[in-house]
Structure 1
């Protein structure tokens, strides 16, 4: 120790040694017996911090409407997949995972795709469409199923037009209206300039709420009115966060229904060991929300009693359109046949231990448009939102225009909304399958100007955590996203 240090701390060497000696004497004294002083010890031991996971996984189902009698030709373009002709002239050209035990629209909603070894697209880069000899009138569609594993996330869809080639110009093409490249001396040689195919192909992108590869039209025509009876499981297994999330989702659905048309009505039925209807059909949102807030979890599960009580209330509906939304997390011991015979449309929502096959039995046909399933409780609100959108406005279109226009929009990134039934963009919750539909069609009237033209394009999705990230700022360079969001990071 140098003199400067001694001066700084205000202790001489003598004083310091005297202090150490005093400590030694006190320690020796303590060993002679047990202390009588009051004492207490508290500690925080075994502390751990483990980073969470954010993993976006995809699966898809793709079809090509390319005309009948082409199974061998199309199968040759997909050496790693056994192409099937599902209906006359419509071919299944891709499905991941390849489902053996049931229909893809059902399985993608039932299965926990965040489980390991399921075989989803996870870091892979594959083409969906590899089609030759496309002609006017042909169409293709892919429904992509998104799975957010662990952390709720903002999601963007992105893409890029990577080629738009003229290739060669045939004699019919050279004389066609809209053809931008004249026939040169060498009609089989390469042609400078872009082709017309990307501008000619029509593209529609939409939220495919029920993952059925089809853009479903508006649920009700403008001016139509509907009565919706919520039939909610309040058995003991619905306790804790599950019943809280269910209340939030049910109130959100009721608000969406009542806002869609001033003549719409909503009622509330609950079931556990038996069933009751705390709120008859009404157009008063406050009354509906009060009834939902009063729900509590206890007892067993008697879904049959709930459906019967819900249908009894729907008999009082003044409109022709009657809908029942049944939510449960356990055994659904009814097929709802009496309600269906009476003309009621039934949507079945399951969470946790609910049996998917029971939900299918209960739901109206086709089941893939009326059954919704959440793996995690955190996704309950969003699944109610999916049903609300399906009942009121059908499936929302994200983009409609040419393939060239779609790729231009996607090159900037299209921000996707995890819950379309509430105001403002919402992140995607984990444990819930949500699907995006992408369809292209080459119109029959397009003409000769697209002969021999070809296009190539990429599609992708980007996910970023939503926690501490209320206003994400993400830019895209082609399909490579870059986040410059500062989020909530401490400075």
Structure 2
């Protein structure tokens, strides 16, 4: 066999020529290549916000308007203060749609002024929840009778959206038939291998809201170790205590918390005491040998609140250990948000039943030796932490008409320019409990002296300040005044109170007759980030 293939030189060249023509043809067509593209659309940069909201409660210990000579401590004005009796003003005691926050008055409210839900903007059908410095707007779940509803989600059911192993769940339930709102608490999940323990203490405000409220569902039969305390007007506290085994959940329903729907607003503070913090755990640890070991008992590890739907659980606290010590308080407000600055309806905001014609924060025209007054300001930084300053300006005095007793008391003085500021004692302090009272044993003063001394401390020159919105003097406040270190920023979403008290000493006498003093008070804030707290340049 001849394996040689014979190719002449001409044949080889002809073949190469054909290849060249084919290559040239390919080059004249489209060229294939790899490609890729990444894009980032709809980019935005939005400036953040820093909004300082201030509310207050003012009282006066002096003549009480409309009492034919009565003298005593009484409210002057407050903000917020819900209008009453069809008027454009309220009773002078701080409240938000009927929920009391004022430290003044005869009864002590559950919530104080620092807890006014000032910054939120929940919708009308939402409720404002705060926990651990975070806030949420939630909707109530809704349906029929709450007792029937609990049977569908409580110990006899496997509705796992409402239940979860090692989870304590709270939510609001609105009865669609009458608008009543109830608070549900469901602990753990049925058919697990281990049980648990929990206590919830529930405070309501104001006390009138508790009149018709009760534990409408008390999970487990009366022979169990669980027990429930209904709220009453004396302490405004309801308590639920639970202990359960691995076959059950546990919990209960209390309400209506909105006092039969039509009266609407409410505020609740829930104090969960879980695991070893629970009252039944502490009381029964020695009574049930083996019950609280790892085979029968397990800690609740999560705390959640439901938002509008059983499947929408907001985790408030995760990783709770057996001690339960990391768990904080939950607050729920049915209404929230206040105006500030130019949004305020002035001068109406300064009026009350006692002072229906007042047009400024402080406007008292018959002050006598022995009179005192006090304003507790509560401040709320919305959105971002900030440095805060107390400010003053537009300081002026007037001697008024020189009376004969005043002239005699002045002695050799040739003119009466007004000395009232020199005879008004002022205390400015951090009012930790916002109760309108300076407790000098436990609360920290910011300034103590006369009103004239305060203006001097701030560098305010009498009669030299300009327009009413110019503040000549600033005094920096400190979020942690007792640590002795650098000035600390105030956190966002947490209120704090500053008290301003004045007194005309009873021994002053005639030298101040007819004198008057005018001044502005205010607060200034600037963001913490990128600032050192030294304040504005001008």
RCO higher in 1 or 2 (8 Å CA, sep ≥ 6)? 1
TM-score range (shorter-chain normalised) is: 0.3 to 0.5
Question: What's the TM-score once normalised by structure 1's chain length?
Answer: 0.47
